[in-house]
Chain A
Amino acid sequence: MRFIFKTNYAQDINMARHGGDRFWYGCLILLMLAMPLLIDDFYLGEISYICILAIAGIGLMILTGYTGLASLGHAAFLGVGAYTQAFLLTHGVPFYLSIPIVIVVSFLVGAAIGIPILRLTGMYLAIATLALCFIAEHVFIRWEHFTGGNRGMPVPQPEMLGLSFYDSATFYYFCLFFLIASMLVAINILRSPTGRAFVAIRDSEIAAQSLGVNLGIYKALSFAISGAFTGLAGALLAHYIGYLAPDIFNIFLSLTLLLLIVVGGMGSLHGTIFGAIFVGFLPQLIAICRDYLPSYIGSQPGLEPMLFGLILVLFILYEPLGIYGRWMKIKLFFELFPTYKKQTFKKQKVFTKTDRV
């Protein structure tokens, strides 16, 4: 077990807690950089997709995992990002300008939607965001000038400095770059007063308010930041798919994002990566398994959504902290071996939460 001897308050602020962190994350980044040498184009595309999912996951994690506001409508932000990106590139805006514009647009859309919608809480907020998802889909269908309607819209692949997104390694590096950048920004927000205010809102609105947190502003900010991350992911998703159609951004995509953060582990940024790997590879896994299943099961069309739903329920029941929670337990098991006790992670009885005001 590692004991960290703290000699400076900065150690509690720094991103890496100790040398081991630096070493292992460094190794991980080197591995990710070397990835195009190790695997073929198909899997490189899959990993790019996982990076995109992870960026969207960071967005939803900030909103749901850290601020405690559920959203069933995040596909709408992916759509906003994707269509804005496609629209800008079609109209000749270069890639290095279009991405910041996409981020700002999705931030503003997030704020604009967030301010009225966040007067609702819990169940009602979930339903309102669900409605958002359907409304957005219809807007994408009807606003033909901007989105091409049901005919769809081709996404021009940018070419600059002799690099092209048609090359899967180039696209992969772009996705990886944006994932790492998003991760760093997310970590920075979460270790600063704003991030703490989000956590405060999640755990006790009334205490947050009495400590001076302006609930309206911080909830809207959380929604906007979440929208910005998800919009960025949407822009990359547009390039990944290559051709946008409104029905891509349906409720199922929103639920996939929700599955991502729940399976990955609520309230941890590690969880977004684990979750993205999980939901990114799951369809492949199901496709592979189909071949081995008897045909009357394997050829059923609804297999994938059903398994997604089943897994979501099983995780909520048996591992509410997700894959990251399980990983923490495994790590602690080896750190404390052989004195690990199962009860360590048993939730303590919660003290009365009656008359909350």
Chain B
Amino acid sequence: MSLFKVENISIAFGGVKALNNVSFEVNEGEVFTIIGPNGAGKSTLFNVISRIYQPNEGKIYFEGNDISKVAPHKISSLGIARTFQNLELFENATVLQNLLLGRHIFKKTNFLNEMFHTPKVRKGEMEHRLKVEEIIDFLDLQHYRDTLINGLPYGVRKNVELARALCTSPKILLLDEPSSGLTNEETNDLGFWIKDIQSILKITIIMIEHDMSFVNKVSDRILALNYGEILASGLPSEIKEDAGVKAAYMGE
């Protein structure tokens, strides 16, 4: 059975049909990439999955459970983490604080015992820190622990956002254009990391991406969207040859 399933999702903003009857399934352990021209509805789809938008129709299943009515702040504790297209980091906080926020769903203390910094709070903080350090080692962020996000170059910020998503110990990771704004070298590194996330951390990845060579390198399966509808889906080699995709990207 598939880990994650989207069934007949439709959403319209006024007269604009951003998504129209979109369905797909993602299997455990794969890298599933969503491609499509600008305005195809890719980011809308992500926002529907992370429950920021309420779809007009359709259902979303995760591990067999319908999550299309779950509150947006509960999504991450189910095991779905995401990054954002235009970076939504906490800019006036350090990298470490950003990553520790990734552990928010695992906090066992409330503000009453935090007020007095009881041993339980300290123990919790240390546990969170250990997990965060694992991710820091995984993504080579050791240099930046105490730097404010404000002062970081773009590539590192992208990396921190990926790290923050990983800190929530997700089962599914939604990456919204992870390679945009990165240099070739950084994109290569990202490719290795994505493979590592897949094989070492055993996390399923759903990714929106434009860089086709990168997409072909890391994806197991691809879904092509255009004007809110599914154009094609299948293996990278099939998508490359698909007539509809070619038409959407290069013109008839």
Contact = CB atoms under 8 A, between A and B. Distances in A.
Interface of A: 9-10, 12-13, 185, 188-189, 191-197, 199-200, 202-204, 206-215, 221, 225, 267, 347-348, 351-357
19 contacts: A9-B133, A185-B115, A192-B114, A192-B125, A196-B93, A196-B100, A200-B101, A203-B90, A203-B92, A207-B89, A207-B90, A209-B52, A210-B73, A210-B75, A211-B76, A211-B164, A212-B104, A214-B73, A225-B111
Nearest to A196: B101
Given A193-B107, A355-B43, A355-B86, 9 more contacts: A9-B133, A188-B114, A193-B100, A197-B101, A203-B91, A208-B90, A211-B76, A211-B101, A356-B88
Given A211-B168, A347-B150, A13 B86 contact: no
A204 B90 contact: yes
Contacts of A207: 84, 88-90
Contacts of A200: 90, 93, 101, 104
Contacts of A208: 90, 101
Given A193-B114, A351-B154, A10 B126 contact: yes
Contacts of A185: 115-116
Contact of B109 (A10, A192, A210, A353): A192
Given A9-B126, A9-B129, A12-B129, A193 B104 contact: yes
Interface in B61-103: 71-77, 81-82, 84-93, 96-97, 100-103
Given A197-B101, A207-B89, A188 B73 contact: no
A193 B117 CA distance: 11
A224 to B, nearest CB: 9
Contact of B76 (A12, A191, A202, A212): A212
B110 interface: yes
Interface string B158-172: 000000100010000
Interface of B: 43, 47, 50, 52-53, 71-77, 81-82, 84-93, 96-97, 100-105, 107, 109-111, 114-117, 121-122, 124-126, 128-130, 133, 150-151, 154, 157, 164, 168
B183 to A, nearest CB: 16
B27 to A, nearest CB: 24
A108 to B, nearest CB: 14
A200 B43 CA distance: 22
Q: With a 10 A CB-CB cut-off, give which of B73, B87, B89, B109 has the most chain A CB atoms.
A: B73
| Of listed B84, B90, B126, residue having the most chain A CB within 10 A | B90
B127 to A, nearest CB: 10
A356 B89 CA distance: 12
A192 B50 CA distance: 26
A351 B76 contact: no
Nearest to A197: B104
In the A-B complex, the 5 residue pairs with the closest CB atoms = A192-B114, A207-B88, A203-B90, A212-B105, A193-B107
B9 to A, nearest CB: 17
Contacts of B101: 196-197, 199-200, 208, 211, 213
Contacts of B93: 196, 199-200, 203
B86 A209 contact: no
Contacts of A191: 117
